[in-house]
Amino acid sequence: MPPMIDVTPFAQEAEGTTCPRPITTGFTGFETKLNQIFNELYLGELSPQAAADQAVAEGNATVK
């Protein structure tokens, strides 16, 4: 049986008022690229720092 993941902190943060997506103009166009960056991160193809740097750069370029 796979290990259980405690999602309690995420559920607690989701209680009450939340911010719907998209959170800014242009986010919809950026979302596909963001998913690609996260996939590369999860697959170990990018370090967390490289993924964050790339996501920020791509996001900023999208909303300009």
Encode pLDDT of 31-64 as tens digits.
899 999 999 999 999 999 999 999 999 988 887 6
CA dist 13 and 9 (Å) reads 6
Give the domain ranges of the chain.
20-63
Question: Model's pTM, two decimal places?
Answer: 0.60
CA dist 4 and 56 (Å) reads 32
CA dihedral (59, 35, 52, 20) positive or negative: positive
CA dist 56 and 37 (Å) reads 11
Contact 37, 54 (CB under 8 A): yes
